[in-house]
Amino acid sequence: MSARPNSHAAASPINAAAHEPFSFLHPRLKHNRMAQFAASVLDITQGISVCLELVHSSSLARMMNDDSGPEDTQLPILDTVDTDRLLRLATASANLMASHAEKHIEWMNEHVEKEAN
């Protein structure tokens, strides 16, 4: 084995990687603030939706089990602790999105005021 470093690796920056993160955005929109905001909204709201669907399904299964006999019971997807955790995650995610939107609105308002002057 050679102790000499790979010349290709040495030429690449330390944070370089072959993997490129997935994005719904066109590459030309990579640095567009509004496009980045829209992508964040999409990601966070889809996550909230999945959390709420799992919570709903689990709660519905528990309610149906309360009304059925022992032979007809089905395990919910989530136990009550995980159901609560996902509800808290969905709440925190919604609050994060609201905060992100508020900062974006503030930035847009400041930008419009600067253009007016």
- SS3 state of residue 93: helix
Are 62 and 104 in contact by the 8 Å Cβ rule? The answer is: no
Distance CA 2, CA 24 (A): 42
pLDDT at 16: 84
- Of 20-24, 77-81, 110-114, the range with the highest mean pLDDT is 77-81
Q: What is the band of 9 on the pLDDT scale with cuts at 50, 70, 90?
A: low
Q: What is the band of 53 on the pLDDT scale with cuts at 50, 70, 90?
A: very high
pLDDT in tens, 61-104: 999 999 888 888 899 999 999 999 999 999 999 999 999 999 98
Q: Which of 51, 58, 57, 32 is nearest to 96 (CA)?
A: 51
Question: pTM of the entire structure?
Answer: 0.72
pLDDT at 113: 82
Q: CA–CA distance from 62 to each of 9, 56, 59, 69, 90 (Å)?
A: 55, 10, 5, 12, 20
Distance CA 66, CA 19 (A): 48
1 has a pLDDT exceeding 90: no
